[in-house]
Amino acid sequence: MLKMTKQRTLLLDYLKKSTKPLSAEMVYLKLPQGSMNLSTIYRSLEAFEVAGLVDKTNLGNLAYYKIRSHEHKHYLVCKNCHKMIEIDCHVDSFLEVETKKHHFKVESHDLTVYGYCEKCQTLA
């Protein structure tokens, strides 16, 4: 039944404004201080995920959340500055073949590319 509280509205609005996945703590630090407890953020994000409003993805040891959108994207993640560059998803075609072989019912997938962005290549 997902009740819409002051906090959840705040959180959802903030997520909507972001094009990139955000961790719970990133959101926590950006919201007006005292407006929402960190554990409430975790609980709400989880509720949103169950409700299909947001997608969760794990990068390294952190969970990131992003408003669910029609187009499925992936990210190039810079190992130096942690910048995330969005790229289009092109894996469905070959995935279909591979998963059929194993009679696997796909629910979702994550593709993350690690490396160095243009700026950090020269430095690192």
Partner DNA sequence: ATCCTTGCAAATTGTTTGCATTTAC
Partner DNA sequence: GTAAATGCAAACAATTTGCAAGGAT
# of chain residues touching DNA (CB under 7 A): 25
Under rule CB under 7 A, residue 32 binds DNA: no
CA distances from 28 to 18, 24, 45 (A): 14, 6, 12
Under rule CB under 8 A, residue 106 binds its own copies: yes
Mapped onto helix, strand or coil, the DSSP state of residue 62 is strand
**Binding-site member from 40, 67, 72, 95 for DNA (CB under 7 A):** 40
DSSP letter, residue 61: T
For the chain, what's the residue count?
A: 124
Instruction: Report residue 82: phi and psi, to 5°.
Output: 65, 15
Please give the residues from 42 up to 81 whose contact with its own copies meets the rule CB under 8 A.
58-61, 63, 76, 78-79
**Binding-site member from 39, 80, 112, 121 for DNA (CB under 7 A):** 39
**Binding-site member from 9, 35, 39, 121 for its own copies (CB under 8 A):** 121
